[in-house]
Each structure stands twice: as structure tokens, then as C-alpha cells.
Amino acid sequence: MEYKLENMSLEEKVGQLFQIGFSTSTVNDQVRDMIENYHVGGVIYFSRNIESLEQTAELSNSLQQLALNSEGGIPLFISADQEGGTVTRLAGATHFPGNMALGAANDQDLTTEVAESTAAELKNLGINVNLAPVLDVNNNPDNPVIGVRSFGGDPELVAKLGAAYIKGLQSGGVIATAKHFPGHGDTDTDSHLDLPIIRHQRSRLNRVELYPFKKAIEAGVDSIMTAHVYFPAIEKKEGIPATLSKSVLTGLLRDELKFEGVIITDCMEMKAIVETFGTVEGAVKTIEAGSDTVLVSHSYQKQKNAIGAVIEAVKSGRISEKRIDASVKRILKLKAKRINLDQVDKADPAQIDFKSHKKLAEKLAEKSLTLVKNEDIFPLENIKEKKVTVIDFEMGRVSLAENEGEKNNLFVNYLNQKIISLDHIRLQNNAVLSFDDQQRIEASDLIIVCTYNATVNRYQAELAEKLAENNNILVLALRNPYDYQLIDKTQAFITTYDYSPASQKAAANFILGKIEAKGKLPVSVD
């Protein structure tokens, strides 16, 4: 490792501090330029880069070969946000229910097993960094960006399961990244859109927000991602997000909490940064603050400008080369540990045991399914003979069907196999039941209303409440357990925390009486 550093130019060193995104599913001229001429240390995949398992593996192999053949010959960090649940990037990979489902199951061994399986899929697709787990304590029901991405609202639960997830990823040879330090759970603002502020005193931050990160460091987490959130109790200068705060990254994370791994920023093109200091100046400031890896996910021009600005900051004396060297050492040490500095194993999706992973996802979905309210609805006797109507809603990019273009969602398909008289009504956004729809649901023994983020799409809960005046209504919350806050008259409420195939199957099996609902709410929804 030392010999690599000694032979690196300033430009090569600074390049290693950057992780960049690009817009295609193959190696394009821009990412080639960033690897060959700007010496970037890593790339990040989004859905735009991923078409299939085979294509993803081939892309990873091509990028690593390009890096190894370039001047310096240092392999890449290749990362993705494969959190499970609502944040999954990989087409064709196993869709595991997410963190809040793991929180509802509250099983450390199961959490580790899910993380190990996720690592196996990532590694065989050439992805060596998972930007997970989320260690934010979601104690704010109005949080627009974390929610079910969190394990729950109890810092001890989040810490326990977070450490188990880290163990599983890293034992599988994939770098774990705890995020978003020092905590994004108690915000009602999305840092993609604006700068959130958490005004709690330091004693409360120690007890809640920081606790899971302390435990992650004790568990040996490889990397920690910063939050674009302002913490006045830690950073005295007004309006400085944690990502740009030396008090947070060096004073707190390095000096006080003794974290020795790699600090990576959240994307520097999010509006919390863009509309305060800007991506380019932000890149300089975050390195001054203590970050090792600067994430610029989208703009090719901003990527080049940011690297140029950091090089200029070193040449002008604003940042010392010793400071750059410290970050490069941490990066090379982690690459040597998890990847190998001289060669990279070829990605091969044929090595993935999808059959066992699917069973594991179904096990988690069944163990996490939570019955929150039940006024003499369950168990349903002779359900197969009942008249059941399922109502769901068009939800844009979210597809509840296994294959695009299918009219029925998976949940309906599972029920359809067993229930003789099953009807399915799909409504457009904000739509009300037509006269024909009302005729169709007449005399239903049970009406199931499938909500998805009804806290935002309130018409979904409003419809369920109206129908509950004269019918037996079950609300199936396919994402957000906080939908329960909008429920009063509705007789029953279950939540899966996620719309994954396994989650929909578990919900159907519960209604059919095949399984019990064993999950416990990991957040307060009253």
C-alpha cells in the first residue's frame, strides 16, 4: 500500500477521493475519461446503469479492467444503494423486504443472514460497496426520506440490527456503509430538496441519533456516510451541514468516536449542498472537514470541476498534501482489505443462489408481517367461500405486479388462486368509486384497501374510512405503517413495510389463514 502512495502524483491522489456516477449501462466516454484521466477512486450504480444481472456483471468487469490498465492501476470502489425494501437498484436481484421489516421481525441472526445473501449477490455482480445499512432512528412520522428505510424508532433496536447487518455484509466480502451520520431520522425535510435542521441538545443526540453509529464503529464498520443535515448542538457556525462540518466529521466522528474507516459524503449534488455552498466548493470544504470520499453522482462537468478545485486547493496551500495522503491511505487500506489492490475477481451472476435467497426473503416477510388492528375480522372462517374485493391505486413508478403491464398485483394473484369470488378494482390517483364500482363491491364479506404512503396520498385512507361505515374493511399498508394514523373506523389494519413479492405473498397467506402475523411495530404509530 505504501509503495502505491509513494508513486502517486497529486492528481492521482485527489482522483482517488472521488466516487462518480454516469448515465449509461455500458462504459461511455465520460466514465472512461474520469477513470483514465481523472483517476477516480470509484463509481456508483443507479437504476439507469442496470438492465440485467449479466449486463451489470459485464459492466463491473469492464470498469475494473479499465481502472487496472490505467496509470496507477488501482481497482475501483463500485457501489450501490441496495438497502432492500423501497431502495433497491439491481434488476433481477432478490428483493428483500427492507430495514423496517427487519425491525418488525427483530431477529439478529435473520438480519445477518439477509445481509450475507445481499453481499453474495452484490459481489457476484462486481459491486464491492453497499451504501447500507441506514442507521437513522426514525422517530419522526413526517420524515419524507427515511421512514421504512430505518430499522425503527428505538435507538437500541437500530443499533443491534445495524451491527448484525454490518456483520453480514462484511463477512460476505462487501464494504458496509453506515448512514446518514450523525442522523437523519428526526427531520421533516428531505435533504435532496433543502437543508434539514436537527435542534436537539447534545445529551439527546448522544442517547438517540449517535448511539447506533457508536455501536457500528464498535462492530468494525468499514465506512460511514455523512448527512446533509445541520446540527447546531455540534456545529456552532450557522447553516453548515454535517457533510461540511469539521466539528462533526473530525471533532466528533474521528476524535471523539475514534472512527478509523472511510468517511464518504452523501451525494454532493443534493440541494442541501447545491443551494448553500455548491457542489464544487462543497467538495473542497468536505475534505477540509474530514471526508475521505466525495460522491458526485450525476454531472460530468461538476465531477471534473470538483476534482480540479481540490487539486488547486492543495497547490494554493488551502489543503495540505498530508491531509490528502491521510484519506488516500484509508482508501487504499480498505481496497486492499476488501477488493485486492493488484487484481479483482471477475463478477459472475451464475454463482448466486437465488432459490435460497427467495426463501429467505419469504421467511423475513412472514416474520415481519404485523397486525396492528383487528376488530373481529381475523381469523376469517371459510375465506375461500367469501366474496372479497381488493381495491388498489395506480402509483406511478411503483409496480405491484411481477411483470410490467400486468393488471393484477401479486397480492391479488395469490388470493385469486384460492378465493372463489374475488374482485379487483384499480383506481387512478384521487379517483373515487364509480357507480359501477360500488355495485361490484356490494355484499362483499371483506373489502381490502391496499395503501401505499397514505400519509402523502390521503385519498387512499379516506376511501377506506368512508367504506368502513357500511362494510368490513381491511387496510393493507404496503409500505408505510404510519398510514395507521389516518385510520379510525376501519376494522382491521396490517402492514408489510414493503411491496416486495415476498411481502405481498405473506399478506395473502395471512388473509387465507396459512400463517400468523408475528411482527411487532418497531415505530410508534398512535
Residues designated as active site? 192, 266
Amino acid at 5: L
At residue 30's C-alpha, the angle toward residues 26 and 33, to 5°, is 110
Cell (9 digits) for 517: 402475523
Distance of CA 317 to the CA centre of its chain: 38
| The three cell numbers locating residue 116 | 450475507
Q: Which three cell numbers stand for residue 177?
A: 456503509
Give the separation between CA 26 and CA 213, rounded to whole angstroms: 36
Query: Residues 449, 473: contact at Cβ < 8 Å?
Result: yes
Question: How far is the C-alpha of 244 from the C-alpha of 225, rounded, in Å?
Answer: 12
Q: Taking Cα atoms as reference points, which of 50, 105, 59 lies closest to residue 82?
A: 50
End-to-end Cα, the chain, rounded Å:
54
Q: Which phi and psi angles does 20 have, rounded to 5°? A: -125, 155
Closest CA to 65 of 346, 349, 350, 348: 346
Cell of 164: 448484525
Q: Which residues are bridge partners to 484 per DSSP? A: none
In angstroms, rounded to a whole number, what is the distance separating the alpha carbons of residues 412 and 415?
5
DSSP 66-105: HHHHSTT-PPPEEEE---BTTB---TTS-----HHHHHHH
Q: Peptide bond preceding 133: is omega within 30 degrees of 0, i.e. cis? A: yes
Cβ atoms of 373 and 491 closer than 8 Å: yes
Q: What are phi and psi of 348, to 5 degrees?
A: -150, 95
Judged by DSSP in three states, 446 sits in strand
Cα gap 163→149, rounded to integer Å = 16
Q: How far is CA 174 from the centre of its chain?
A: 16
Grid coordinates given for 507: 399478506
Amino acid at 505: K
Q: How far is CA 303 from CA 20, 83, 108, in A?
A: 7, 25, 39
Contacts of residue 87, defined as CB under 8 A and 6 or more positions apart, other chains included, come to 81, 98, 149
The C-alpha cell that represents 408 in the structure block:
393484477
126: region left, alpha or beta (phi > 0 left; psi from -120 to 50 alpha)? left
